[in-house]
Amino acid sequence: MSGYVSLNGKLIPSEAPIFTVANRSFRYGDSLFETIKCAHGMPLFLEGHLQRLYSGMEFLNFDWSDQLLKSVINEEIIRLLVRNRHKDGARVRLTVYRADGGRYTPETNEINVLIESDSDANEFYLNKEGKTIAIFDEVFKPIDAFNSMKSANALLFVKAGLAKKKHQVDEMIILNSKGLVCETISSNLFLVIHNRLITPPLTEGCLPGTMRQNILALAPNLGLEVLETPVGVNAFEQAEEVFYSNAISGVSWVLGYEKKRYFHKVSAKIIEELNQVISQ
């Protein structure tokens, strides 16, 4: 990445050193982040991202800063996009990390706010080649309060990413501590079975994704019944369609799980609906 980043409201070159070895995000994963898609020079679904961030900050006892007001963040993202010439499509990472000091027990709850941007597609595009998936069962995701936030502590997903490379598939399915389907490495998961859009409920440990929320709201307009219910691994054999969602890609359709093959009719419709929303 080249260009600039925003640190506490100041634009600085992205290659400039901004951390010391005492950085708590580096040492303890003591930080939260949001990945935000931008289109036509504007951040998308910012309200949902910030609400999730605020909830995580409250849980971790981070101090509040007016830097994180929606109007301020919106303006700072736009300023960074213009400076980096990412006025069209971009992906932005907003990170909030606790200030240096202390070991496991922090000396302060003051925060720093870091915003980065990279160029990306201006719209959502459905993947031309269907994805392949496999089950990751080496480590299970606990069901606890940390599931509602995106933190820098991501070793479970790093381990799943290594398994993805080993098995030569596009994505791994994370299972929760009950052995049920939870999510993928970076996305929420959906199955279409008999005109029902099925996804694990948040009580099963999956992240409350901003795109997940949007898809659940769009589904009735597509004639789909929404069912948030625990999902077993055997559901992949019953499904006619499988896709996963995140804020950057929108949805990605799955071609195959083991010997099973899927369609992508609903995925295509969701992409069309999302692009209509961002063009308004």
pLDDT at 145: 95
Indicate the SS3 state at residue 188.
strand
Backbone angles phi, psi at 87, to 5 degrees: -70, -20
10-47 pLDDT tens trace:
999 999 999 999 999 999 999 999 999 999 999 999 99
Tokens of 82: 């213009």
CB 246 within 8 A of CB 222: no
- The fold of the 131-279 domain, in CATH, is D-amino Acid Aminotransferase; Chain A, domain 2 (3.20.10)
What's the helix, strand, coil split of the chain in %, to 5? 30, 30, 35
Domain formed by 4-119, architecture: 2-Layer Sandwich (3.30)
Cβ-based neighbour number of residue 125 at 10 Å? 12
Closest Cα partner for 184 from 144, 145, 212? Answer: 212
pLDDT at 1: 55
CB 199 within 8 A of CB 205: no
Bridge partners, residue 91, by sequence: 37, 118
Which residue intervals of the chain bear CATH 3.20.10.10?
A: 131-279
Share of the chain above pLDDT 70, in %: 99
CB 129 within 8 A of CB 53: no
pLDDT at 16: 94
Location of structure tokens 């969602």: 245
∠ CA 237-243-244, nearest 5°, is 125
Which residue intervals of the chain bear CATH 3.30.470.10?
A: 4-119
Closest Cα partner for 202 from 90, 74, 101, 55? Answer: 55
112-138 pLDDT tens trace:
999 999 999 999 999 999 999 999 999
- Angstrom CA distances, 101 to 20, 106, 223, stand at 11, 6, 53
Q: Is 158 exposed, middle or buried (0-12, 13-18, 19+ CB in 10 A)?
A: exposed
**Angstrom distance (rounded) from CA 79 to CA 92:** 12
**Angstrom distance (rounded) from CA 268 to CA 280:** 19
User: Taking the model in full, what pTM does it have?
Assistant: 0.95
pLDDT lower than 70: segments of the chain: 1-2
